[in-house]
Amino acid sequence: MKLLITIIISLSFANISPAQNNVDSVVNKLIDVMGGKEKLVAINSIKKSGNIEFSGQKIPITYYAINNVAERTEFTFSGMTGYNILTKDSGYNFSPFQGQTSPENMTAEDVKLSQDDLDLAGILVDYKKKGYNIELLENEDVDGVDAIQLKIDIAPHKTVFYFIDPSTYYIIRIKAVTNSNGQQNTNTSDFYNFKKTREGILYPYTFDNITYDSIEINVPVNPNLFKPSK
């Protein structure tokens, strides 16, 4: 009986271990390509500046973030500046071009589901310690690329899918599926124009219709930026 149990347990681990090894192999390769764990965990702040391409116009956009504290994306159009702010316990959206006269609060559920955005090292670094589960799924076609696909369970109501170019190990598409406020939402973004910062950290300088001209790491960021204002 003991022998039978031992055989069953051994077979179970034989089935599980290769899959986990494959996941960790992909994750480790991704982290190395992005610059390595040491450089990624050393990111304390980021400032990105660029433009949104919209109806033939370029709309200035700036992104500020302090690691695991807060982030702000602001954009200027027709002389007005709108923004999205996320902190550890709150969030705000302000779009004056759409008639808003004061910031709108994000729901508590949306704030909670967005917290991984504040992790500037990225969700792959120490993913097990963070409580995430990662699966390696079948490859999927992404604009002609036979992309490696990772499924990352961030929370009970949030799953993220990474699509990776096997020739470079660049993440070329991210799909996030969330269930919040009684609705399921799916957001997909495609990434291009990969370059390294002077610190040696790889970023896509273009995603969807946004292109950044500069990405600065560990620059001073004014905490007042994360307070809502008109």
Output the pTM of the full model: 0.88
Average pLDDT of the segment spanning 130-155: 97
DSSP 113-142: HTGGGG-TT-TTTTTTTTT-EEEEEEEEEE
Residue 154 has pLDDT above 90, yes or no: yes
**Banded model confidence at residue 8, pLDDT cuts 50, 70, 90:** very low
What does the pLDDT read at residue 230?
A: 67
Residue 21 has pLDDT above 70, yes or no: no
Residue 15 has pLDDT above 70, yes or no: no
Residue-wise pLDDT tens digits, 22-64:
999 999 999 999 999 999 999 999 999 999 998 889 999 999 9
Dihedral, CA of residue 157, residue 126, residue 86 and residue 96, to nearest 10: -80
Phi (first) and psi of residue 35, to 5 degrees? 130, -10
Q: Is the dihedral of CA 97, 100, 102, 106 positive or negative?
A: negative
Element (H, E) at 16: helix 2-34
Tokens of 214: 């500069």
**Banded model confidence at residue 17, pLDDT cuts 50, 70, 90:** very low
Domains delineated in the chain = 25-226 (2.50.20)
Check: CB of residue 136 under 8 Å from CB of residue 124: no
